[in-house]
Every structure is written in structure tokens, then in C-alpha cells.
Chain A
């Protein structure tokens, strides 16, 4: 983190790999060189990487205390969607959520009271992505319309929410995931056209696009790092890729899954991320070591994992599966802590609340459940 230098708009031949790229100044022993962003990041990783032998995470974690008896129950069931729930997101106020479904309906709930506060019908079906703005004043959603639209939330009875809709992102295939960055003004999207893109909400301008996946991109997550410059995406090409938001370059790639990666989520410290895939496993990838460090799988789990998220401390990994269950994994020891039943169809989406008091799961059985 210490000596990271930033992008200056200079193009030329990189001093390390000699490719024609956008260059940044890098200082080595008080000599200034120009590296492309990829070489700069690799150099940073190589310096930071500790020279230790390969020991598995669960071996090191043997000395950690085991978790006690684990009891989590459904505390709220949100009924109101007329069809499969595909995506949900929490508001920063820790109780409101937005959810979207196959029939085009997007609903904002106060999940604590289970009241519906807003509802809007999209002009397309299969709304696979939705996100709550950090301010709590708007939501974004999209799906088979290939677009991401932002709806400001209004309580004015005379105003139709759909009237103020802003079309922000345009892709050439379905929208699979979207997320606001640190403010309401920028949105990051992932699409079935194999690309991710960063957009300015106000003007709809494309700020940066990210090419590199060999197939549909299904998920993304922004890094919780101090400098907030990277994000990870997962796709049908079985790859998880970490991107530099400013230059659009792929900084790291991980390819150990055996099937589509449905969900990626950063570990709370930002040093690692977990992924859930159709190959029925979840995996943990360490960014500094640049490799997979744990696999969460069981012989009795044969259905794909659709959605993963960490608890606040990063000790637990919640994963929703296509066999209607949610498995809770001990991240350090690699063992399953609990299995949660309740949904009557695939679990399609799962997010832990911003303060870690509960998590919400959405399913193809038309309901959402809050567990605590």
C-alpha cells in the first residue's frame, strides 16, 4: 500500500514488458521508470509476497477455537413478489432492502416491519441485478433489457416512480450485476456481453470499460480497500478477475473453478475474496499470494452455489445453493458449520446486512427471508 503511484496519461512502451500501454511512473532505487499498470501491480505483489512454504489455511487454523453450536432461524419472510426473486441489496440503514424478480417487479421493503415502501415494474422480465444507492435515495436495476436504470425513490403520491427513471448503462447483452461505488453518482455494471463498465449516473457517460472475460460476466464486487480502486468479477469462463478501475486493466486472474462463477465477494479486510460456482464449491482466493487458499465443498453438496457473502468478521461464509439450502462455512477451518433449510426453490441471492446483524436470502420460491 505504501508506494503505490498513480496513472498519468502517458502512453508508450513499458520498461518491463515493452508493450504499448498507458504508463505510470514507478520508482526503483530512486530511479524513475515507466511501467504499465499490470507490471506495476505485479511488482508490488512480488515485493509484498512473503517467502513462506505452502501451508494450507485450515492447517494453520487448527489452533483456532472451534465455533460453538450455531443457531440461525428465519426471522422475517417477505412475501409479495409474484415470481422468482433474482437479486437483492441492503440499504445502508441496515433494515431496508431492494429486491427484483423475474416478472419485472422491483420492490423496496422495510424488512424489519416487512412493509413494502416502493414498487416499480420494469419494462423487461428477468431483472437479474438491483442495487441500493449509498444515500438510500435511489435504486438501480436491470436485466434482459441490457440496460441499467436508476430510479430516484420518492414518497410523493402524485409522482410515478417510472417517470423519473434514468437509463444509465447500455450493454449488448443482459445485465447480470450492478453496484454503486462510494456515491450515488457512479455505477459499476457486469453483463452477459463479457464486459464490465463504469458509468456516470448523471450523464450516462461510459467512464471506463473492462474487457478480458472470455464469456458472460455474472457477478462483481468492489474492494473495501483504503484507496478503493479495484473490483473483482466472475464469469462463465470460470475465471475471477481483479481490475484496476482507473486504467481498465486486469491486474490478477484466477482460474481454478470447474464451472461458471455465479458470485464473488471480498473478505472484509480486502486481502482476499470468495467465489461461489456451479461446480458446487466455494473458494477463497488470496490476493497477495495470488492463489486459491481454501475450497469449501462436501460430497453431499452437488448443486451449484449461486450466492456467497461473509459475516462481519470474515469468520463465516454464507452460501446459497441451487438445492434450496444455505450452507454456513467456517472460513478458517474449511468445515461446514450449519445447513439452513426453509426455501422451497433455488436460493438465487444472499447478502449480509451492513452491520452484520442478519443476512437476507432471495429465492425462486418468490420469497425473501431474513435470518439471524
Chain B
């Protein structure tokens, strides 16, 4: 077995280098897990990309058998090695050997007897076979008792529970054909906005160490970039999630005398994601401000929803305003939002929006730009602290 395979199976122009690297990597892992071992007395399980011969490990010693390598087995192995090498064990092996002698002192006779028996049986085999069996065993113990500094490849992390019978009756519905065009549409629309795919202007901070991109796109930047303003047109959700977009939308609604809709929606969000203890007070506040007859900022909800909502208010919980919130959200989404996109205000924002200039590639890479620190959001500021607000 020699290392010469192409990991991809088919060499392709320009990809051969990568395929070979993947092949070497996979080969190295197979060796590290003990499925292959170097034939000539190995101290470490590593894959050397030269003419070193490797052999397949015998299935008896495969890690996948998940056969626990017991202390007794290890003791016998070390005893054999000690006898063969007249006590000249490696440091860590000597340490283990001494420890085991103390731990299983009650069965030490068994250990020594077994070791001698196995060595005697080995002498009756051909020299070639003896070498192979010794190497196999050595590789096995390198995997199961790695020397200091070598990570234990058998470690799996905390034990996971096995799969019991499913308690839930799975919903069996006829699975119909999928419509794939939403994915194509979404990805092609968002592609130019994806910094990893299309880059970003002026430059990707991680690549050039220049954090101007973040300054220009700060959550409360005064002049948003063109790409950012464009995104507000992709979906109502995008507009609301951007603080600057939401603020402009609020201005627009004020012009249309329907700003209470957005305020109501914001209050409902606060209720849904707020602390449990604040629920009764918030529900009451929302009722007084938006839902009570003659309220200062009364929202226009259909009578059916209003009836249900008011009925639910006697036992307030965080989802009690969900119906009303959805109704108002849909109203804004289907009515105000499209008008906003067609409005002069939005068109003006698009034309005023900035397009940052690309940072020229650094000619002298060793003159690295200093990486600016930024204030942590956890620092106390003059404004309202964290928690609750989005």
C-alpha cells in the first residue's frame, strides 16, 4: 500500500493539488486511527508521503470493534515488551508499567505468565509473521494508549443516550413535489449582498484589517449604503429589522397618519419577548394606549379579532395580543409597505444612499493597518441598558 491515490478519484486540471491534499489528509487520519500502520517499527502513527510501506491493520485490532482495551491486556503487552527489550521501555511505558504493577499486584503472576506464554507461542511462528504481529500490536496500543502529547483519537465526548422507541406519532402527510424556484430567486437576489460571495465595499474587515465597512454600516448610521436601502425593498421583515429602515418607515407612516400601527406592533413584540413578571403591566399599558375605546392611539382592528383580544385580556399572557399583532402586521405589510416602496421618500433614500469606494489592495503588506478596538456593547452607556429592547 503506497500513498499515491487521488482523493477525488478523477484528476482534474487545477484541482489535482487539492485532491492530493485531501487524499493525504484522509490517509493520515486512517493511520492515526490505526487502520493502517507503517511496517517498520513505528513510534508514531503518521502518514509519510514517501515510499514508506504501510499495511492494513487486522480487523481484530480495529477501533470500530469498540472492544475496550483493558488494563490487564495492556499490562501483558508491556510485560512482553519489557521481557523482549530486557527492561528498556519508553519513559511513558515504564511509568504505566510501574503503575499497573501496583494496581493489579494481586494478579501480577497471571500477567507475567501470560506474557511469557505469548512470547513462547510467537517463537514458533515464522520471522516475517512475528514482525507483522508485533507491529500490529504496537499500532493497536499506540491508538489505545497514546504517548504523552498525542491526542486520543478514540475520545468521543460525553456519552449520548441511545435511541428509544419514538414517543411521538409522526404526522404522515402525503409529501408532494417541492417548488425549488424560491431558493433560486432568494439566492440570486441576495447574492450581491453576501460579503463572502460578492465581497463588500470598501473592503472585508477580516481581510484588510480595516473596519470602515462596519463603521459605514453601523446600526444607526446617518447615511445608509445603497445596498442596505435596497434590502429594505426585499421584504417587510428586512425593513423592520434594520433600525434605520424602521425609523424611516415610521416617518412615512406619520405622514399617512397610521404610525400607531407600528408603535402597537413594537409594543406587542416587547410583550412577547419581555420578562414574565412584566406581562400584566405591559398588557394593561397596551390596552390603555391602543385598544381601549377612545384610546389615544387607537388601532384599527376588525371587530372579530378585537372581540377575541378583549376577551383574552382578562387572563393576560404573553401571547394574548398575537391575533391583533398579526392583523396589524399584515395590514402594514400589504398596504403601507408597498406604498412606502413606491413613495418619493424611499426613492430619495435610494438616490442619496452612499456607495463606498473600494480600498485599494495594500502594496506593501508588511505595513499592516492597526486593528481598532471598539467599545463593548456591555459597557454602561448613557442610554437604556440591555435587555428587552431589540
Which chain A residues have a beta carbon within 8 Å of chain B's beta carbons? 2, 4-9, 25, 38, 42, 45-46, 49-55, 57, 60-61, 64, 67, 72, 75-76, 91-96, 110, 112-113, 115, 117, 126, 128, 133-138, 144, 152-155, 173-174, 181-186, 192, 194, 200-203, 205, 207, 211-216, 218, 224, 226-228, 236-239, 241, 246, 250, 252-253, 255, 260, 267-269, 271-272, 286, 288-291, 293, 299-300, 302-303, 311-316, 323-325, 331-332, 339, 341, 345, 352, 355-359, 364, 370, 372
Contact = CB atoms under 8 A, between A and B. Distances in A.
B277 A203 contact: yes
Contacts of B179: 50, 52, 288-289
A183 B390 contact: yes
A293 B377 contact: no
Contact of B276 (A42, A72, A207, A332): A207
Interface string B154-169: 0001101111111110
Contact of A314 (B26, B187, B205): B187
B2 interface: no
B91 interface: no
A372 B196 contact: yes
Interface stretch (B48-56, B207-215, B285-293): B207-215
Given A214-B165, A315-B190, 9 more contacts: A135-B377, A137-B386, A144-B158, A202-B276, A212-B167, A218-B160, A253-B168, A324-B25, A355-B217
A60 B379 contact: no
Give the bracket for the number of chain B residues in contact with chain A.
Answer: 35 or more
Interface string B329-364: 110010000000000000000000000000000000
B186 interface: yes
B180 A200 contact: no
A61 B187 CA distance: 11
Contacts of B373: 110, 113, 115
Contacts of A54: 177-178
A260 B160 contact: yes
Given A136-B386, A203-B276, A364-B151, A237 B173 contact: no
A91 to B, nearest CB: 7
Given A95-B374, A293-B180, A300 B204 contact: no
A2 B269 CA distance: 19
Nearest to B322: A6
Contact of A239 (B166, B214, B376): B166
Contacts of B162: 215, 236
Given A184-B386, A253-B171, A372-B204, A201 B275 contact: yes
A269 B186 contact: yes
A69 B151 CA distance: 35
Contacts of A67: 197
Contacts of B269: 182
A311 B194 contact: yes
A185 B273 CA distance: 7
A370 B173 CA distance: 42
Contact of A290 (B21, B165, B175, B333): B175
A15 B168 CA distance: 20
Interface string B317-333: 11100110010011001
B28 to A, nearest CB: 9
A92 B25 CA distance: 36
14 contacts: A50-B177, A54-B178, A133-B386, A134-B390, A183-B389, A185-B387, A291-B178, A300-B9, A313-B191, A315-B197, A332-B183, A339-B22, A357-B196, A359-B196
B274 A357 contact: no
A88 to B, nearest CB: 16
Contacts of B217: 355
Contact of B25 (A4, A42, A50, A323): A323
Contact of B163 (A5, A184, A214): A214
A299 B19 CA distance: 13
B120 interface: no
Contacts of A92: 377
A288 B164 contact: no
A174 B160 CA distance: 9
Given A38-B171, A57-B183, A76 B178 contact: no
Given A126-B158, A185-B388, A236-B163, A55 B180 contact: yes
Contacts of A153: 376, 378
B253 to A, nearest CB: 18
Interface string B198-239: 001000111100010110010000000000000000001100
B374 A205 contact: no
B266 to A, nearest CB: 12
